[in-house]
């Protein structure tokens, strides 16, 4: 059973994430309906967030809106997550050139996690959003992250993965090391049909920044489209790295 404190915290973030989704003021009724809260609970939550200075209540329209306090709290994240704004500039550059799904991922314990993504405007696409996770030893972005570890570290991580993760995420060490060494040799990973059928990603481990966190840039989309544009995609990524991270 979820404790009351965890449940309350979860609801706060659900409200904030809903604001991020709709990008407009929202009403008490809308929050209660969208998040499936009792109206009394939703009212108490929104009132508390307003009293603490995180939401503004418009009594005329009876709607709530985040205050600048929320925006100010997140301003450090560009550098806190990415080390500096050059990573975001790189993503914007690659996305602008290719109009494909471009993402930044990092390791989160035994998973790879998307922390930033820009979607393509093309009709045929696959949805990825910040916060989504992928198996570290199976996914293209995960294996690319592993390529930045030492062999000893990879073996240690794989033992943990095989001990606690679902059987479908288990991998044999020699098979994994063959893939990882290929990424180290080629400088990229082209993963096809692994997590979603017909979807793929071309992933590159970015040079370490002063912040020291391993980051992977991925260009994702339908496998057929990535195969047709593989050379163009890799050339664009390398141009962007040279321009923004050298």
In this structure, are residues 241 and 227 in contact, taking their beta carbons and an 8 Å threshold?
Answer: no
Q: What is the Cα–Cα distance from 197 to 79, expressed in whole angstroms?
A: 35
One-character DSSP codes across 172-212: -HHHHHHHHHHHHHHS-EEEESSSSTTEEEEEEEPPP-TT-
Strands 101-108 and 111-118: antiparallel
Q: What is the pLDDT of residue 21?
A: 86
Question: Who contacts 162 (Cβ-Cβ below 8 Å, separation ≥6)?
Answer: 170, 171
In this structure, are residues 226 and 200 in contact, taking their beta carbons and an 8 Å threshold?
Answer: yes
**pLDDT at 118 > cutoff 70:** yes
Is residue 201 very low, low, confident or very high in pLDDT (cuts 50, 70, 90)? Answer: very high
Task: Return the structure tokens found at 157.
Answer: 């991580």
Span 109-126, average pLDDT = 91
Among 229, 205, 230, 232, smallest CA distance to 216 is for: 205
6/96: higher pLDDT: 96
SS3 for 113? Answer: strand
In this predicted model, what pLDDT tens digit does every residue of 210-245 receive, in sequence order? 556 799 999 999 999 999 999 999 999 999 999 999
Place of tokens 């929104």: 46
Q: What is the pLDDT of residue 176?
A: 97
Q: What is the pLDDT of residue 1?
A: 45
59/4: higher pLDDT: 59
Among 124, 126, 143, 125, smallest CA distance to 135 is for: 143
**pLDDT at 87 > cutoff 60:** yes
What is the model's pTM?
A: 0.73
In this predicted model, what pLDDT tens digit does every residue of 34-77 receive, in sequence order? 888 999 999 999 999 988 888 888 887 899 998 877 776 766 66
Span 142-160, average pLDDT = 96
């Amino acid at each position: 059973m979820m404790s009351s404190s965890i449940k309350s915290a979860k609801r706060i973030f659900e409200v904030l994430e809903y604001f991020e989704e709709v990008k407009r003021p929202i009403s008490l009724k809308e929050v209660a309906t969208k998040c499936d809260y009792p109206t009394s609970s939703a009212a108490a939550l929104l009132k508390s967030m307003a009293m603490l200075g995180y939401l503004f209540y418009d009594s005329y329209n009876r709607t709530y809106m985040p205050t600048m306090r929320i925006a100010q709290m997140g301003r450090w994240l560009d550098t806190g997550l990415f080390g500096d704004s050059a990573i975001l500039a790189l993503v914007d550059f690659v996305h602008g050139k290719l109009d494909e799904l471009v993402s930044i991922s990092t390791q989160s314990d035994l998973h790879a996690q998307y922390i930033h993504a820009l979607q393509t405007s093309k009709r045929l696409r696959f949805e990825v959003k910040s916060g989504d996770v992928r198996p570290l030893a199976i996914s293209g972005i995960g294996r690319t992250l592993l390529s930045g570890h030492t062999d000893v570290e990879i073996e240690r991580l794989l033992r943990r993965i095989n001990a606690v993760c679902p059987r479908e995420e288990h991998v044999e060490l020699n098979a994994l090391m063959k893939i990882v060494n290929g990424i180290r040799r080629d400088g990229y990973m082209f993963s096809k049909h692994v997590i979603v059928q017909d979807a793929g990603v071309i992933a590159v481990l970015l040079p370490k920044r002063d912040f020291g966190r391993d980051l992977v840039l991925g260009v994702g989309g339908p496998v057929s489209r990535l195969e047709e544009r593989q050379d163009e995609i890799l050339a664009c990524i390398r141009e962007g790295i040279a321009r923004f991270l050298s």
